[in-house]
Every structure is written in C-alpha cells, then in structure tokens.
Structure 1
Amino acid sequence: MTDKENGWPDNPGWSELKLPDLLLVDSVREIHARIEAEWDYLQRSACQMAAGRALWKHVIHDPLAELLAGEACLRNLHEKIKKDRSNNAREISGVILAVRTLWFDSKIEGALTSINGRDSQVVLLGAGMDTRAYRLSCLKESDVFEVDFSELLQAKATLLNAAIEPPNGHHHQQKAKSLNRVAADIRSNDWLEKLKTAGFASEKNTVWVLEGLLYYLTHSQALQVLETIADQCTITHTVLLADFMNKPSTTLSNSVFHFYCDWPDHLLPSLGFSTTTLSQIGDMDAHFGLMHDPLNLFNKIRSLPRSLQTHPDDGKPCCRLYLVQASGSPQLQPSHKDNPQVRKSLSE
C-alpha cells in the first residue's frame, strides 16, 4: 500500500534519507558527536524534535531542522518511519510531533493577531532547537526570548552560524523583531529574573510557549512554572500555549515523564487564567489533515470520557495529549484562586 492509498501525504524524503551538505562539515559533525556523547535524554530530545520537523517537511517548512537534528536523530526517526510504512501503521512515527508543531504555530499567530502583535513578546521556555524566530513571519513585530540550558543554547548558536553565514545566510534570515537567548534552568527559581535581565519586560503583552516541556518536570517544578506565568496575568495581557500529558501517558514502561494533568482546563483557571480552551490530537483544530485513520490511537479515545484511564474495548491505557491555550489580563482577573491543595489535586 502506498502513502497516498493509506491516506498519508506523499513525501519522497521518506523513501531515501539524503543528508544536507552542512551536516557533513567537520565542525558540525564534532558538535553533534559531543551532543550524542555528553547530553542527557532531556537535552537530546531537542534534536529529536528537530528531526521530526525535518522529516515531516512536506507539512512543516523548517529549512534549519536537519542541521539542528543531526545525523543520528535523522537516521533513527527515518528508520522508524520506514518500519511504520512497511507495516501499514495507523500512526507514522513523528505525526504527533508534526501536529503539535503546527498547532503551536497556528496558535502563536492567532494570539499575536488578537493583541495586534505590536510591542509584544514571545517567550519559548525550554526552547531547545526551536527555529520559529527564523520561520514565522508573524513574529516580525515581536521580541522573542529562548530559554534553555546554557550548553544547549551555545551548541544551537554555533550550528546556526554555520547556516546563516555566507553563502547560506540569505536563505535563513531572522524573521522575529529581535531574538534573545537566555541561559537558565527552569527547574530552578531564578529563571524569571534571568529573563528580565535579558530584556524581558513584564508590562508588555506576552505569549508564553511551553511545547514538549511540562511533562519532563516534577509536579512541584511544573506548578512553579505555571504559577509564575499565571502571576503575569495581573500585570499585562498574557497568553499561555502548552501541551499536557494525562496520567496513563506518563506511566508507561520506560517513561521519562513525570508531570501529568488530566484536567488542565480546570487547573489553569485555579492559578489565575481567566479563559482556557483545550484540544486533543485529532480535534478540528489539531489534526491538519494528518490524523486520517479513525482507528488510530488518539482518534479511538477522543470520544471517551476523559476520566477513563483504560479503553473499555481492549483495556489499553488511554494516552492523551492535551493542547491548551489559556489567557488572562488585569481587567479579567478571576474572583478567586483555589488554595494550593486544590491545585495539587487538579494537577494529579
């Protein structure tokens, strides 16, 4: 069965992996060799996400993704895709990452449009190998802040320099009004101060992007991050874009995930956000023509009550990924916030 017969977009890149010339440059190969040897799973996940964008380039335009992913991650995902295609899998490896990327792209643009985009900020927490500052035109009036580990940001900057310097530079011009990289560990309590030192202005309209981040944190760390962002709602118009896993998603064997929340649309109002909307992979605004099979994992459970932990038909865990947009402003403050114990119960 071909990709078209199976409902998948035609992607010649899936048939044969052709590495870009830049990945074969000695200095670039040395950086990726160091990444493979020295980075932990959390840091390497940034390259894995870039590999997803690179191999789903028929739906995501990211010319820098291959360079940031590196050969090892590209080959690993490519092999998984080949295996999925040969087995006529209902979900091709990387499809969830592709849907998630497209959802965040569309919501960032929508949020900036709603606040007219001018004099606004976009903060990418746990930015990893994100390239939105180079590929999203909607950021042209926005100051962008990328927050992540120092060694990750340094490696990323070195790799990008290889792409944006002549003769390649004219292909990869920055689209954001400004780009500031902030070395900070969001698991600590000083990341907001470091962000402010880098030029973040609390009084400016801000879109906070937490993509593929929260579930790597402990419950206390995740709540600290969410509470810190929610506090900004008392200062200025604040938009949060984040993805949440439910409990079954984090309790599978070999899981490296910790934080989960079955009811993020209840948790976020308890922290101070006035409006919250939630989507699941496969919903109207979260499929982008890629979740075509009604029997794939996510489509099978969308119609089931969210309280169910296992599927009644086969007993398999109901693994859900929630895509959530929340917002708040000084003019729209909730009448009260729930106490810490209520927040803890909602996040668990």
Structure 2
Amino acid sequence: MHALSLNFFSCISLSRPVLKLRIMSEEQNGKPEEWAWPELKLPDLLLTDTVRKLHEAIESEWDSLRQSACQTAAGRALWKHVTHDQLAELLAGETYLRSLYEKIKKDRCRNAREVSGVMLAVRTLWFDSKIEAALSSFDGGGAQVVLLGAGMDARAYRLSCLKETDVFEVDFPEVLQMKTTTLQAATDSINDNQHVRVIAKSLNRVAADIRDNDWLQKLQISGFVPEKNTVWVLEGILYYLSHSHAIEVLKIIADNRALTRTVLLADFMNKSSTTLSSSMFHFHSDWPDCLLPSLGFSEVKLSQIGDPDAHFGLLHDPLNLFNKLRSLPRSVQTHPDDGTPCRRLYFVQASSSPHQTTP
C-alpha cells in the first residue's frame, strides 16, 4: 500500500501548451537548461526469464493497490536524472515503464506544461530532503526511519543520510517478498549488483497490513525501539485508507511522541483529488495542518508543489498547474477560470517530543 496512482499524476497534467522541462545546471551557474529526455532502454536484467516472470505475476495476481508500488517505481525510474534511483527500473517492470514513457513522449510532443511524472519526482525529492533534515536535527543516540507502505521504495539503498540509521519497511507480505526476490536476482547478477548494496545501518522488512491492529507489534518484534528517535514516512499511502484507518494510524504515530522525538512526513489529498478514483482513494484532508495538532503534534508545516521547498528546479513555468493552484485559497474547490476541480496534494512535516505541549 504505497504509491499514489500515476493516474493522478497524469490526469492533472492534461494538455496545456507550454514550456519544455528544464533542470538546473551548475555549468550554467544555476541557469536552467533543457533536459534531453533519453530513449527508453530497458536494463538487461529486466528482460531475463526470472525477473520477467516475477513481473508477470504482479500484473496477473496483484490488485491495483499493490500494483501502484510498481507505478511509483516507474516514475522514479524515468525521472532518475533527478531522483538518482538506480533500482527503480528493475522494481517497476517493463509494462509500467513503457506505459509512463509513452505518456511522457506525448506530453513533450505537445509541449505540455507539466510532463507526466514531474509531480512524483518532486514528491520523491521532498521526502528525501525532509528525511535528511529530520535525521540531522536529532541529537545523537541513533535513529530509526519507518516507511509505512514501503512498496518498491529503495531509499535504504540510495540515501547516504541513512548510513547510521535503522530502516524499517512495512507492507503487504507479497509485496515485500516480490521486492526481496527481485533485488536478490540483481545481487546474483555480476553486471547488475553494484547498486544492490544497503547504505542504511540496517534494513528490516516487516510484513503487515497497517489497516490491522497488530502492525506496530510486528514492527517492534522486528527490532523497532519505541524510545529511539524516529522518522515516520507515509508517502502515497494515507488516501488509500478509510477515514477511520487513516486516523488510527496517525494516532498510533502521535502516541509515540510521549516516548521520544518523533517526525512525521506524509502527503495528503484534498477532497477534490479523491474524485479521480472513488474506488481507490478514500481518506482526505483539506486542512492537515489543523488535523495533526489535534492528534498531538506541536510543530506542523505544510507545503504545496511549487513552494520553495517543493520545487527542485523542475517547475519553471509560472503558469503551470501547480503554481495556479497555489495562488488560490485552499478553501476553493473549483477553479474560477475553467471550472475544473482544484486537485491538490499537500506535503506535511510534523514533529513533537516528550517535552513539548500541543497548541
């Protein structure tokens, strides 16, 4: 239970004439330069019988919720010039890579303002940067990062800030098993194992459904220490839950603040966004920066895509969809210019400690 369906990322970037994607270049002293998107070239390991059969099982046996983990991996793979996720192609699989690549080609041919997947790239970079900042803020004693609904996340293999940190990946048993088997195939390959080295101090995979009431117990059995400084990462997961399940998960995390310094990193859909798929998306909050203090967090900061800390040099056109949404009050549900729903994704950082009181 991990990824925001790429339908969300593509649906919000319907045809709008625009600038081409640009990235920052040190060679040009910080001036943007156009990124020449490479042709899709699949890694050899992805085409082997072993890995191909693994991904065929995903397509035939998994429901859309579990498959969304591979969709997110495809986004990171095709934006790896900024995400630097070298394992994403392998974890995504050929079908999802080709599907997103075709969307990107179409967007670039019509000079779309928002190229498919850019939202996912920004989201990935936001979580990366906030994880690093949170770990830097802790005063020694070691730390833990818990990835709820980890899916095909490969942060334990690529973020250097995790080298002194214990990482826990929580997800459905079949998702974690498929991920482990796929990465083992890369480890066994002479040509493809250079990226399959865990950077984190330790990596523990915890098979659990966070909709059940025993996931925290399973986490503790796997080595999680409640008294240790902890960063909780809920990327692309809350909106798949019912309202009651989402609130319960947030309450469990909030309760941990009584024991240690706690940082929560999460993304929230607003109500309009859930209409993209009423069967998939359930929980929403138009005001998560008000919700979290009510649960016990004392420091909450909300960002929208395009804000200074959620930009990363990927959104230069002032008329792109994200900037247009940021210019409107959050209470506005329908855009006054064209009557389209104001579909927003909020990035929220919340923290607390045993010595702090909530407002």
**TM-score range, shorter-chain basis?**
over 0.9
* Alignment correspondent of 1:341: none
AA in 2 matched with 1:263? W
Q: CA deviation at 1:170?
A: 3.5
CA gap 1:15/1:29 in 2 versus in 1, 3 angstroms: same
Q: Is the 8 A contact 1:54 1:63 kept in 2?
A: yes
* Alignment correspondent of 1:281: 305
* Alignment correspondent of 1:339: none
* Alignment correspondent of 1:342: none
Pairing partner for 1:35 from 46, 58, 61: 58
RMSD: 1.5
CA gap 1:255/1:80 in 2 versus in 1, 3 angstroms: farther
* Alignment correspondent of 1:131: 154
Pairing partner for 1:8 from 22, 29, 33: 22
Pairing partner for 2:352 from 320, 324, 328: 328
* Alignment correspondent of 1:93: 116
Q: CA deviation at 1:165?
A: 3.1
Task: State the aligned residue count.
Answer: 331
* Alignment correspondent of 2:286: 262
Deviations 1:198-244 (A, max 9, x none): 11000000000000010111101100100000000111100000000
Q: CA deviation at 1:7?
A: 4.2
* 1:68-83 equivalences in 2 (<5 Å): 68-83=91-106
CA gap 1:151/1:7 in 2 versus in 1, 3 angstroms: closer
Q: CA deviation at 1:78?
A: 0.2
Pairing partner for 1:216 from 231, 235, 240: 240
Q: What SS is found at the alignment partner of 1:161?
A: helix
Q: CA deviation at 1:11?
A: 4.5
Question: Any unmatched runs of 5+ in structure 1?
Answer: 336-348
* 1:217-236 equivalences in 2 (<5 Å): 217-236=241-260
Asked if residue 63 in structure 1 is aligned to residue 86 in structure 2, the reply is: yes
Pairing partner for 1:290 from 314, 325, 344: 314
* Alignment correspondent of 1:313: 337
Structure 1 distance, partners of 2:210, 2:130, is 23
Structure 1 distance, partners of 2:276, 2:74, is 23
Structure 1 distance, partners of 2:319, 2:19, is 16
Structure 2 distance, partners of 1:128, 1:254, is 22
Structure 2 distance, partners of 1:239, 1:253, is 30
Structure 1 distance, partners of 2:195, 2:250, is 36
Structure 2 distance, partners of 1:200, 1:324, is 24
* Alignment correspondent of 2:264: 240
Structure 1 distance, partners of 2:180, 2:334, is 44
Deviations 1:321-343 (A, max 9, x none): 100000011100326xxxxxxxx
AA in 2 matched with 1:331? H
CA gap 1:302/1:200 in 2 versus in 1, 3 angstroms: same
* Alignment correspondent of 2:136: 113
Structure 2 distance, partners of 1:304, 1:110, is 29
Deviations 1:55-82 (A, max 9, x none): 0011111110000000000000000001
* Alignment correspondent of 1:251: 275
Structure 2 distance, partners of 1:21, 1:121, is 35
Q: TM-score scaled to structure 1, two decimals? A: 0.92
* Alignment correspondent of 2:208: 184
AA in 1 matched with 2:315? M
Deviations 1:296-318 (A, max 9, x none): 22110102111111111211111
Q: What SS is found at the alignment partner of 2:332?
A: coil
CA gap 1:152/1:17 in 2 versus in 1, 3 angstroms: same
Q: TM-score scaled to structure 2, two decimals? A: 0.89
Q: CA deviation at 1:172?
A: 2.7
* Alignment correspondent of 2:28: none
Q: CA deviation at 1:8?
A: 2.6
Q: CA deviation at 1:256?
A: 2.1
Question: Any unmatched runs of 5+ in structure 2?
Answer: 1-17, 24-33
CA gap 1:270/1:197 in 2 versus in 1, 3 angstroms: same
CA gap 1:304/1:5 in 2 versus in 1, 3 angstroms: closer
* Alignment correspondent of 1:159: 182
Structure 2 distance, partners of 1:318, 1:240, is 25
Structure 1 distance, partners of 2:140, 2:159, is 13
Percent identity over the alignment? 70
Pairing partner for 1:272 from 296, 299, 307: 296
